[in-house]
Amino acid sequence: MDNGLNNTRKDFKILDQIVNDEPFVYLDNAATTQKPAAVLQSIINYYEHDNANVHRGVHTLAERATADFEAARDKVAAFINAPSRKTIVYTRSTTESLNWIASSFGNMVVEAGDEIVISQMEHHSNVVPWQQIAAKKHAVLKYIDLTADGELDMDHARQQITPKTKIVSIAHASNVMGVVNPIKELAKLAHANGAYMIGDGAQSTPHLPVDVQDLDVDFYALSGHKMLAPTGIGVLYGKQELLEAMPPVQFGGEMIDFVHHQNASWKELPWKFEAGTPNISGAIALGSAIDYLNDLGMQNIHAYEQELVNYTLPKLLDIEGLTVYGPHDPAKHTGVLAFNLDDLHPHDVASGLDMEGIAVRAGHHCAQPLMEYLDVAATARASFYFYNTKEDADRLVNSIQAVKEFFANGTI
């Protein structure tokens, strides 16, 4: 029996259950991943032994909580090869990170007539904050189109990114098209035009080795819950000099250096951005998730998922009437498989798969501009993580066949 990469399935108790009378198959990892026992235990350990507020007390538990909270920050920094803990700001999520970049850094650097360049495959969290700042600053929001294959069209990128461009913000990996975008090349293009490069790492950091210095991004955003950690913890990475220049978004306790009656000064990086009591247990659990991922090795995770895609994608493409979005060459496709079946609405397909115990996403995936671009209302989406197996893939393929027959015959 196949038990996921390095037999990891046993660490995820949630996967071992019956849903709608069938063994559960979880294929909604692009939405959020499951949490291994070690990560859950790190939360319990923290609350049973070390719970105290950070950066405030002189007592022993406050020291321990602070040390663990900051140790997790160092783990994040090492995980994405950031140069120092100063460049790692805790946030709630990728969405919050991108919002802060847009509303604070964007507000500082974007001027009337400037261009902000994103792509057709961005998540709403990398679209709407830029719409807001573009409207406020009378800047122009431009989109890079996709190739017929569903990859980012780099020729079009070279046309869209111009000396008027101030910001380029692109998903490192797409949550719909199943492609990894050439962020390093885009960063070169952006910098050659005097623009700043932002990478949305929500879908890449959980699945690929990420090196922010090699990518040479100015900012990078990621979410803990898509990489084994709980919801409510995210990260904003920024180059130190840019974070120094960027004003804080929230004000209050923790982030101040000294407060007078009429004014205040900020703490040094990264704490000047972290107002109020942070998500301490979330940060510590993120550190534990990173330990778990490092034990497996990001290169191994990437290779294992690629093997699952090599196995699954041709089987999906063999189903008559099934459309898979993004490249059909498995070597170019990540473990995010968005599809539609005949004229069936993806909600009907997803309800059918749910009855077979299989969890997939159906909808617009928070990418309505992309749905409009692809000229579909919505899609279904199966997405893998390292604990999925070829058996899971077989269940998916067979169940899609069964759902297709059900709707063709009106019954089974």
Partner 1 sequence: MGLSKLNLLYKETVLDHSQHPRHHGQLPDATAHLELRNPTCGDVIDVQAQIEDDKIIDLSFDGVGCTISQASASMMTVALIGQSVKRARELITDFSKLTIGDEISDQADEELGDAAILGTVAQFPARIKCAALPWHALDELLEKREVEKND
Contact residues toward partner 1 (CB under 8 A) are 20-22, 344-348, 351-352, 354-357, 362-364, 368, 371, 377-378, 399, 402-403, 406-407, 410-412
175 vs 281, beta carbon nearer partner 1: 175
Q: Which residues contact 128 (CB under 8 A, 6 or more apart)?
A: none
From the candidates 38, 256, 359, 366, which is the catalytic residue?
366
185 vs 391, beta carbon nearer partner 1: 391
65 vs 380, beta carbon nearer partner 1: 380
- DSSP state letter for 180: B
The answer to whether residues 139 and 165 touch, using CB atoms and an 8 Å cutoff, is no
Our answer to whether residue 366 is catalytic in this structure is yes
18 vs 58, beta carbon nearer partner 1: 18
State the minimum distance, in angstroms, from the CB of residue 378 to partner 1: 5
**Backbone torsions φ then ψ of 122, nearest 5 degrees:** -80, 150
Q: Using CA atoms, how far apart are residues 250 and 273, in angstroms rounded to an integer?
A: 7
Angle at 169 between CA 28 and CA 271, to 5 degrees: 85
- CA-based max dimension of the chain: 74
State the minimum distance, in angstroms, from the CB of residue 405 to partner 1: 9
State the minimum distance, in angstroms, from the CB of residue 357 to partner 1: 8
Residue type, 16: D
Burial of 143 (0-12, 13-18, 19+ CB in 10 A): middle
HSE at residue 397, side-chain half, CA atoms within 13 A, is 18
20 vs 277, beta carbon nearer partner 1: 20
State the minimum distance, in angstroms, from the CB of residue 145 to partner 1: 21
State the minimum distance, in angstroms, from the CB of residue 321 to partner 1: 16
Alpha helix segments (H runs only) across 16-174: 37-45, 60-79, 94-100, 107-109, 128-137, 154-160
The answer to whether residues 29 and 384 touch, using CB atoms and an 8 Å cutoff, is yes
Q: Using CA atoms, how far apart are residues 4 and 178, in angstroms rounded to an integer?
A: 21
49 vs 347, beta carbon nearer partner 1: 347
State the minimum distance, in angstroms, from the CB of residue 320 to partner 1: 19
Catalytic residue annotation: 366
